[in-house]
Amino acid sequence: MRKKFTAFLRTRLVWVALLACLVFPGTGCGGTGASGTVGENVTVEGLPGTGASGVAMGDYAAVGQPSSQGATIALSDGTALTVPAGTLSGDTGIGLRPATGAPTIDTDAVPVSGWYDVGATTVDVTTSPEAPFLVEIPVDPPAAAIGHPGLQLWVVLGPDEQIPVEGTYDEVSGTFRAELLALPVRFTFAVVFNPDVQRLDGSDVSDGQVASALVMPAAGIPWATTDWTIDFDGRKVTIAQARKVLAAARKAARTYSDAGFNEPVLVRDKSLLGDRWHVHLVSLKGSQFEGTLTTTASGLKELSGRLYLDIACIDNPLTAKANSMQAQVAHELLHGIFFGYKVPFAEFTYLEGNKTCSYRSSSGFNEGMATAVGTFIEQGKAIPRPSQQPNTFNFPLGYFDENLRGQAYRNQDFFVFLLRVGTLQNVRSMMEALATAQFPSSPTKDQIWSAYAKALAVCCPNLPSPNIIAQCDEYVAKADEFNCHMASLSMLRLCR
């Protein structure tokens, strides 16, 4: 009986906390999480909660343990990795060495430098866009590569996890430089050149207005830019397709900026045309938006400071399936925004083959929000993505069962409800409140849940009654309508 009462109380408290945060108005692609997976798992090789990866530094030619003052780990040939000041505090070892051999790379690009390995003794080694990690490699590229967008850093995290990172080449020093916002436990890199890569700026795309119905004017600082630069292989993607992606990215960025969200954790390019975010169109072995279990790679994609979009989904039409490029861009961009709020999380480990992976307690918020909001921006109205099965309203805090990680995406139902009775500012308010959650040391699952619930309850003190909560304590989705409503009750009294 006590267990049933506790479960009953927990369900009611979650609803009170989440519904009280509402701010009401006066009036195969896109992060689907196929096969029950979630796209923000991190591969770890040590004890959960300790951050220790177990990567030994003894085999690395250059090793550093950067303090709060920062440090540069360098090889004799000039290859270097610089950790900015204020990023680490002396408890993380970082190693750099020449690779013992060239990896098999999934690109037509040709390496124009040696291959190098990086290892770290801690997972989640991240920094901010204002102070990125700097990778420097001596290189002697062909004349055609100088000033060409096809001269890139190629980062290999595994056979199926490889990404390009744009950078700059200094002809005077003969050095290629690229910035990263995260260091995986281990990765291999080189500078490569692909003459077929093209770059298109957002100024080359006709301007389109964001539908005013999506957002209400929000107080706050607008983003420094809502425009983009895109890199793509001209043999695989047409200029018209690249422009389609740029237009979708601009619409998503403007919508989030207008709604008052903080800027995403992305690197801003500086150019004569102004600041730009950066997006890469890439060929992936199964869209990354389907979720991945190799987090070392997934974490870098999310925190490297760029968006990576699969070319296979560019021409998906805007239909009720909610899987167009617009939904993809908006979904992935919200992940970058979510990371910027630094919502606290704990890690739960599980085995995937011979790997120990880590699942973040914040995934239910992150994926649920991104799925609902991505569809909202694409469709112009709040509807769930049909590819996800309907869910109940009794666990919108996330899902802590490592065998059912795809449930995080199904939390979209709760956020669809938020968008139907409010605006995008509702989702932003939840992010802001979640960022204030305080965990005890080595928290249990119940303590994590409680910390999130308390943080959300503080945002609005005028809590709804249990009778109002009971109105929607049922399936959000019914038949094909995915509909939940509060009958004739006024939702305005739920918040001050």
One domain for residues 324 and 456? yes
| DSSP symbols for 416-449 | HHHHHHS-HHHHHHHHHHHTT--PPSS--HHHHH
Q: Phi then psi for 451, rounded to 5 degrees?
A: -65, -40
Query: Looking at the domain assignment, is residue 191 inside a domain?
Result: yes
Distance from the Cα of residue 415 to its chain's centroid: 18
- CA–CA dist 49, 175 (Å, integer): 38
Let me know: does 67 contact 89? Beta carbons within 8 Å: yes
- The residue type found at 55 is V
Spatial strand order in the sheet of 355-360:
42-44, 355-360, 347-352
Identify whether 133 is part of a domain.
yes
More confidently predicted of 469 and 227? 227
Whether residues 129 and 69 fall in one domain = yes
- Taking the C-alpha atoms of residue 270 and residue 59, their distance in angstroms, rounded to an integer, is 38
> Is the pLDDT score of 151 beyond 90?
yes
Does residue 90 lie within any of the structural domains? yes
CA dist 380 and 209 (Å) reads 13
pLDDT at residue 23 tops 70: no
Domain boundary among 135, 167, 198: 198
Residue 363, H or E segment: helix 363-379
Shared domain check, 456 and 394:
yes
**CB distance 193 to 142 below 8 Å:** yes
Structure tokens of 200? 């298109």
Q: Give Cα separations from 478 to 112, 351, 384, 407 (angstroms).
A: 57, 35, 11, 18
At 121, give phi and psi (nearest 5°). -90, 5
Residues 320 and 442 in one domain: yes
Residue 253 forms part of a structural domain: no
- 149 within 8 A of 229, measured Cβ to Cβ: no
Q: Which of 171, 198, 225 is the C-terminal boundary of a domain?
A: 198
Does some domain include residue 222? no
Residue 155 has phi, psi (to 5 degrees) of: -105, 125
Considering its fold, how many domains does the chain have in total? Answer: 2
* pLDDT, tens digit (0-9, with 9 covering 90-100), for 162-211: 889 999 999 999 999 999 988 877 899 999 999 999 999 988 887 664 44
Give residue 358's domain range.
11-47+286-494
Examine the fold and report which residue of 170, 198, 226 is the final residue of a domain before the chain moves on: 198
Side-chain-facing half-sphere of 91: CA atoms under 13 Å: 9
**Same domain, yes or no: 39 and 126:** no
pLDDT at 358: 66
Q: Cα 215–218–221 angle (5° rounding)? A: 125
Same domain, 439 and 467: yes
Distance from the Cα of residue 430 to its chain's centroid: 17
In a domain, 210, yes or no: no
Q: Do both 178 and 140 map to the same domain? A: yes
Q: Do residues 17 and 72 share a domain?
A: no
Q: Are residues 321 and 461 in the same domain?
A: yes
User: Is the same domain home to 189 and 93?
Assistant: yes
| pLDDT greater than 90 at residue 330 | yes
Instruction: Give residue 362's pLDDT band: very low, low, confident or very high (50, 70, 90).
Output: confident
Coil, helix or strand for 273?
A: coil
439 and 475 part of one domain: yes
Structure confidence at residue 359 (pLDDT): 72
- Quickly state the pLDDT bin for 212 (edges 50, 70, 90): very low
Domain assignment present for residue 87? The answer is yes
Examine residue 340 and state whether it is found in any structural domain, yes or no: yes
Where are any strands of DSSP class E within 79-185?
A: 80-83, 94-98, 110-111, 116-120, 125-126, 133-138, 151-158, 161-166, 168-170, 175-180, 182-183
Angle ∠(323,329,332) on CA atoms, nearest 5: 100
**Alpha-carbon radius of gyration of the chain:** 23
Please tell me whether residues 68 and 147 are part of one structural domain.
yes
CATH number at residue 176: 2.60.220.30
